[in-house]
Amino acid sequence: MEAEFLLPDVDDPDGAEFWRGTARGELLVQACASCGRWRFPPRPMCPSCRSLDVTWERTSGRGTIWSYVVPHPPLLPAYAHLAPYNVIVVALDEDPTIRMVSNLVTGPDGAINEIEPATIEIGTPVEVVFTQLDGVTLPHWIQS
């Protein structure tokens, strides 16, 4: 396999709006247009009221680290090349049950392996930054 990163499907009908948001520098969360419940990952129906009507709400882009791991090989080549790197789960400030998988970086252009893993702590406040990767704008997080 070529040393390529895995990419999200930015044309996925449920998730496309999220990626349009990141391209503008906004972290959006899907919300039910009927009852207002937030949900992530994006999907068609609200599990609270079964509405299919969705809206997207811009978040503050702030959260805390809920957990983290540090992958080592064997990995797909693109990721093995960067290992060890961190993967974090961030709980959003507005709704801590909305949790996103991402990476802790030093800035928008920071690599996912720049932070010393031993310095990462659960509960650390973080804020979103946006990183270009092969035509997709991925949210990453920096310590706030």
In the complex, least distance from residue 53 CB atom to another protein, rounded to whole angstroms: 20
In the complex, least distance from residue 79 CB atom to another protein, rounded to whole angstroms: 5
Q: What is the C-alpha to C-alpha distance for residues 71 and 36, in angstroms, rounded to an integer?
A: 36
Residues in contact with another protein by CB under 8 A are 1, 4-9, 12, 15, 40-41, 47, 66-72, 74-76, 79, 82, 84-85, 87, 89, 97-103, 112, 117, 122, 133, 136, 138
Q: What is the DSSP letter of 139?
A: E
- Give the CA angle between residues 59, 22, 9 to the nearest 5°: 120
> Please, which residue, 33 or 78, has the CB nearer to another protein?
78
> Please, which residue, 28 or 112, has the CB nearer to another protein?
112
List the structure tokens of 62: 């702030």
List the structure tokens of 98: 């909305």
In the complex, least distance from residue 15 CB atom to another protein, rounded to whole angstroms: 7
Q: What is the C-alpha to C-alpha distance for residues 144 and 54, in angstroms, rounded to an integer?
A: 30
